[in-house]
Amino acid sequence: MKLQHFVLIIVLLSISLAAKAQSWDLAKDKNGVKVYTRKVEGWGIKEYKVVMTIKTKPSTIITALKDVPSRYEWAYNSIEIREIERPNSENVAIYNKVDAPWPVADRDNITRFKFSYPNASTTRVDMTVVESHAKAPIYDGIVRIKRLKGHWLIKDKGNGWTEIVQQCVAEPGGSIPDWLANSAVVDNPYNSMYNLKKYIEKR
């Protein structure tokens, strides 16, 4: 019986520690956009989750995410965005180059976006990276992001309101100062989501 109690305590303690490690911290709350961060085991940079509720239809958000050229309107710090391939209406691969402050090298990535519809009120967009592609090889002087996982959730909240959630963790690669990495994981998703809000509201 004592051994059973000991094992139970260890299990409960492990669950408690795991839950604590995975809890979200609110890092920014401004203009209707909230950014949360947390540490994730096996990753050198924090994961972020950015949340916004906006007066629009879910289909408007989905259209914006599928429309590659429109990303110039809202994707923060992106200096080159282009479509790599679109095998069907629910899958698109996008090349994105991001401006980094000197002397840090610019970053780029090729990300596949896969749209799915878990239920009538929710759209999920899974993001995965491609290391290289014939239409976007590794370029000299630019660091390719080769490790990323994330997704978008677009939820119909009723009465004309839509909740948008983007959650992502990515290794920037190369050498990058801690202050820049910590700032980017909050400011970049905040600015992109706020820009998306302004883009949608003016349509």
Residue 4 lies in a domain: no
The count of domains in the chain is: 1
Residue range 160-193, pLDDT digits in tens = 999 999 999 999 887 777 677 778 899 999 999 9
Q: Which residues of the chain have pLDDT under 50?
A: 1, 3-21
Task: Tell me the backbone φ, ψ of residue 120, rounded to 5 degrees.
Answer: -65, -25
Burial 16-48 (b: 16+ CB within 10 A, else e): eeeeeeeeeeebbeeeebbbbbeeeeeeebbbb
Q: Is position 7 within any domain?
A: no
Residue 65's CATH number: 3.30.530.20
Range of the domain at 62: 20-201
158 is a domain residue: yes
- Which pLDDT belongs to residue 3? 45
Token pair of 186 as six digits: 């909050």
Kind and range of the H or E run holding 100: none
Domain membership of residue 44 (yes or no) is: yes
Distance between CA atoms of residues 187 and 195, nearest Å? 12
